[in-house]
């Protein structure tokens, strides 16, 4: 024989179970959010010689960078249009009226940059460096466009390593330019120049976890 | 003798807020007997059944003395509300009731044969794949009855299972319940058909908040007692 006393229904275990479940769910969710945030931050993590266009540049610098970001496409197109010749600074400012090269009111407010082109084409390697020296470093820093692409023997056209964006745009608050015949990533970085990285819409969506 | 249970209820009381539903209920049922519970609507019969199942916040003492070891308790509820769009068929529903394994994995192998046999006995085998919500009231009642029979219960608590069942269904139910009784099981049967109770019950208790009378049907179901409970002029 086995005797069993039927106990009344009790809530205390249900409440305890609910509390444990809530703590567990909140804990797991918080952990997952923290992990996913770390992963997303890493996806846009910059190297030591890079700066973020959005976070690290201010006012006028951001404006100039935005103009340059658009101008490099035009320069690329003009290079083809001019028969594989890089457009001069004068052509960019006067003929093409292209910001930030055009010397208008905004140009004055943004530090009156003096732009110089260093053409370093060598055989099938076309390489151009546009350097903008600020005359008012309180208003904006110094900028530099580094462009490089290759032409194959049969004439077909290759852009640089980064096919989507065959330019790099560099920034330095302090003016210190390496020897003009030897301007490259390797010489710019020790001189204190930083490559500006712009987040694209895709990057931004990725950062926000919507991609 | 097969396993069964002697039930002893002492001073069972239960309130829902300020509303006292059960008051000092004393009740006894023996193994191998059909003990019918009668009483007016709202008298606390269903609440009493749920107290036996440990589903209420009752006061008092309910003791089950199993003849051998602790056995299976089957329960057939009075009514079940189920959403019409719920995609649960008869077999799923039974699986939900009888096993710990998730119902979407199907009926556990160890119960499969018994489920088939039980549904066959209850003339529901050909509707085993029907959605539960598609069944008529009587058919649902048969399924509710079926789940209580698997595995074989040694205590069966029935809460007016005949309400929507037709005559042939009622006969099948009675036959199966009688079979359980013969095997020594205890049957607590909440019933509203007094004539039927007189035929099938070994003992009868009338509950109207408290136990009004209890004993063998022949001796307690007399005109005086019944009028006291069911007459519209009760209390005069």
Q: Which residues pair with B29 in a beta bridge?
A: B7
Q: Which of B107, B131, B151 delimits the end of a domain?
A: B151
In terms of DSSP bridges, do strands B186-190 and B19-29 run parallel, antiparallel, or are they unpaired?
A: unpaired
| pLDDT above 90 coverage of chain A, percent | 26
pLDDT at A204 over 70: no
The pLDDT tens digits of the residues spanning B192-234 come to 888 889 989 999 999 999 999 999 999 999 888 888 777 755 5
B102 and B211 together in one domain: no
Per-residue pLDDT for A157 more than 80? no
DSSP string for A113-124: PEEEEEE--BTT
**Residue bearing tokens 């309130």:** B15
Quick one: what percent of chain B has pLDDT higher than 90? 65
Question: Between chains, do B51 and A6 touch, taking CB under 8 Å as contact?
Answer: yes
What gap in Å lies between CA A56 and CA A68, rounded to an integer? 16
Most B CBs within 10 A among A7, A8, A10, hence the mutation to make, goes to: A8
- Stretch B158-172: mean pLDDT: 85
Does B158 score more than 60 pLDDT?
A: yes
* Structure token pair of residue A142: 């110094």
Put simply, whether A45 touches B (Cβ < 8 Å) is no
Q: Nearest CB to A4: which of B57, B59, B64?
A: B64
pLDDT band at A43 (very low <50, low <70, confident <90, very high): low
Answer yes or no: do B31 and B126 share one domain: no
Q: Widest CA span of chain A, in angstroms?
A: 107
My answer on whether B172 and B235 are in the same domain is: yes
Residue B82 pLDDT > 80: no
**Alpha-carbon span A81 to A76, nearest angstrom:** 9
pLDDT recorded at residue A137 = 83
Domain count, chain B: 2
Structure tokens at A172: 């330095």
Which 3 state secondary structure label does DSSP give A151? Answer: strand
pLDDT at B73 over 60: yes
Say whether A1 and B67 touch across the interface (CB within 8 A): yes
Question: Which band of pLDDT confidence, cut at 50, 70 and 90, is reported for residue B164?
Answer: confident
Under the banding of pLDDT at 50, 70 and 90, the label for residue A44 is: low
Gap from B87 CA to chain A (nearest CA, Å): 28
With beta carbons under 8 A apart, name residues in chain A contacting B186.
none
Q: Is the pLDDT score of A161 beyond 50?
A: no
pLDDT of residue A209: 58
Average pLDDT, chain A: 83
Best mutation target among A6, A11, A12 (most B Cβ atoms within 10 Å) is A6
Tell which wins on pLDDT, A188 or B11.
Answer: B11
One domain, residues B143 and B174: no
Task: For chain B, count helices (H), then strands (E).
Answer: 8, 9
Q: Are residues B65 and B166 in the same domain?
A: yes
Closest CA of chain B from A21, distance in Å: 20
Q: B103, B87 in Cβ contact below 8 A?
A: no
Final residue in a domain of this structure, among B117, B151, B185: B151
The predicted-structure confidence for B37-67, as pLDDT tens digits, reads as follows 999 988 999 999 999 999 998 999 999 999 9
Place of tokens 């496409």: A73
Interface membership of A13 toward B (CB under 8 Å): no
Residue A132's DSSP bridge partners are A115, A143
Q: Does A153 touch chain B (CB under 8 A)?
A: no
A12 touches chain B (CB under 8 A): no
Structural domain boundaries of chain A?
A: 50-207
pLDDT digit string, tens, across residues B11-22: 999 998 889 999
Locate all alpha helices (DSSP H) within A44-58, ordered by sequence: none
- Which residue from A1, A3, A8 is facing B54, i.e. has the nearest CB? A8
CA dihedral A171, A172, A176, A177 (to 10 degrees): 0
- Four-point Cα dihedral B73, A10, B144, A2, nearest 10: 0
CA distances from A202 to A23, A197, A198, A205, B19 (A): 35, 13, 11, 5, 64
Q: In 10 A of CB B208, how many CB atoms? A: 20
The mean of the pLDDT values for chain B is 90
The answer to whether B64 contacts A8, with C-beta atoms less than 8 Å apart, is no
Count of beta carbons in the 10 Å neighbourhood of residue A188? 22
At A165 the pLDDT is 57
Query: What chain A residue is nearest to B14 in terms of C-alpha separation?
Result: A8
| Rounded Cα gap, residues A204 and B23, in angstroms | 68
- Residue B58 structure tokens: 């009752």
- pLDDT number for residue A24: 97
Residues B228 and B164 in one domain: yes
| B86: confidence class by pLDDT, cuts 50, 70, 90 | confident
Chain A residues lying within 8 Å of B65, measured CB to CB? 1-3
B57/A1 touch (CB, cutoff 8 Å), yes or no:
no
CA dihedral A41, A47, A51, A54 (to 10 degrees): -20
Q: Are A9 and B55 inside 8 Å of each other by CB? A: yes
Res B236: pLDDT: 43
Residue B219 shares a structural domain with residue B159: yes
- At A131 the pLDDT is 92
Q: Give me the helices (H) in chain A, please.
A: 12-43, 59-81, 89-90, 105-109, 185-188, 201-207
Residue B164 sits in a domain whose CATH number is: 3.40.50.300
The CA distance from B193 to B177, in Å, is: 16
The percentage of residues in chain B with a pLDDT greater than 70, rounded to a whole number, is 97
Per-residue model confidence as pLDDT tens digits over B91-121? 999 999 999 999 889 899 999 999 999 999 9
pLDDT confidence of residue A55: 83
Beta strands A2-5 and B5-16 are unpaired
Closest CA–CA distance from residue A19 to any residue of chain B (Å): 21
**In the prediction, which pLDDT does A211 show?**
47
- Give the other-Cβ count within 10 Å of A22's Cβ: 10
Domain boundary among B151, B184, B207: B151
Measuring CA to CA, how many Å separate B157 from each of A122, A174, B4, B69, B72? 97, 90, 13, 19, 11
pLDDT value at residue B54:
92
Q: Which residue of A has its CA nearest to B69?
A: A2
Instruction: Give the separation between CA B207 and CA B41, rounded to whole angstroms.
Output: 10
CA dihedral B4, B177, B159, B201 (to 10 degrees): -80
Q: Cβ separation of A3 and B63 shorter than 8 Å?
A: yes
Cα separation, B6 vs B29, in Å, equals 6
Residue B38: φ, ψ to 5°: -120, 170
Rounded Cα gap, residues B150 and B118, in angstroms:
8
pLDDT at A174 over 90: no
DSSP B158: E
Domain assignment of residue B131, given as a range: 81-151
Q: Are strands B34-38 and B203-208 parallel, antiparallel or unpaired?
A: parallel
Same domain? B15 vs B119 = no
Among A11-15, A37-41, B7-11, the range of highest mean pLDDT: B7-11
What residues of B are in contact with residue A6 (Cβ under 8 Å)?
Answer: 51-54, 62-64
Counted across chains A and B, CB pairs separated by less than 8 A come out at 40
More confident residue, A177 or A27: A27
Q: What is the C-alpha to C-alpha distance for residues A33 and A11, in angstroms, rounded to an integer?
A: 32
**Is residue A19 classed as helix, strand or coil in its secondary structure?**
helix
């Amino acid at each position: 024989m086995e005797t069993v006393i039927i106990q009344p229904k009790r809530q205390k275990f249900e409440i305890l179970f609910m509390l444990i479940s809530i703590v567990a769910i909140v804990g797991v969710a918080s952990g997952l959010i923290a992990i996913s945030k770390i992963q997303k931050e890493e996806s846009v993590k910059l190297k030591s010689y890079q700066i973020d266009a959005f976070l690290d540049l201010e006012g006028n610098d951001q404006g100039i960078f935005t103009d340059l970001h658009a101008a490099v496409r035009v320069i690329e197109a003009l290079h083809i249009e001019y028969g594989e010749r890089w457009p001069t600074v004068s052509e960019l400012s006067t003929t093409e009226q292209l910001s930030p090269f055009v010397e208008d009111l905004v140009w004055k407010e943004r530090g009156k940059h003096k732009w110089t082109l260093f053409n370093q084409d060598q055989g099938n390697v076309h390489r151009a460096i546009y350097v903008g020296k600020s005359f008012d470093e309180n208003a904006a820093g110094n900028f530099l466009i580094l462009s490089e692409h290759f032409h194959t023997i049969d004439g077909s056209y290759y852009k640089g390593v980064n096919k989507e964006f065959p330019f790099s745009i560099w920034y330095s608050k302090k003016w210190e330019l390496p020897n003009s015949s030897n301007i490259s990533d390797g010489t710019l970085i020790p001189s204190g120049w930083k490559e500006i990285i712009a987040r694209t819409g895709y990057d931004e969506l990725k950062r926000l976890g919507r991609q | 003798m097969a396993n069964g249970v002697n039930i002893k209820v002492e001073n069972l009381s239960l309130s829902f807020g300020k509303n006292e539903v059960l008051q000092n209920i004393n009740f006894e049922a023996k193994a191998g007997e059909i003990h019918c519970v009668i009483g007016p609507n709202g008298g606390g019969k269903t609440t009493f059944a749920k107290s036996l199942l440990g589903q209420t916040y009752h006061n008092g003492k309910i003791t089950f003395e199993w003849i051998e070891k602790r056995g299976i308790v089957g329960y057939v509820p009075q009514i079940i509300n189920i959403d019409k769009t719920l995609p649960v068929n008869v077999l799923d529903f039974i699986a939900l009731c009888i096993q710990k394994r998730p119902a979407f994995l199907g009926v556990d192998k160890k119960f499969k044969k018994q489920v088939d046999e039980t549904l066959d006995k209850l003339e529901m085998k050909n509707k085993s794949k029907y959605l539960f919500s598609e069944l008529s009231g009587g058919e649902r009642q048969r399924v509710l009855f079926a789940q209580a029979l698997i595995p074989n219960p040694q205590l069966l608590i029935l809460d007016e299972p005949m309400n929507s069942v037709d005559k042939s269904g009622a006969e099948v139910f009675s036959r199966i319940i009688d079979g359980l009784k013969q095997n020594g099981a205890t049957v607590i049967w909440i019933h509203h058909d007094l004539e039927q109770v007189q035929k099938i019950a070994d003992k009868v208790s009338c509950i109207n908040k408290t136990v009004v009378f209890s004993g063998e049907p022949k001796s307690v179901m007399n005109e005086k007692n019944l009028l006291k409970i069911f007459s519209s002029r009760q209390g005069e």
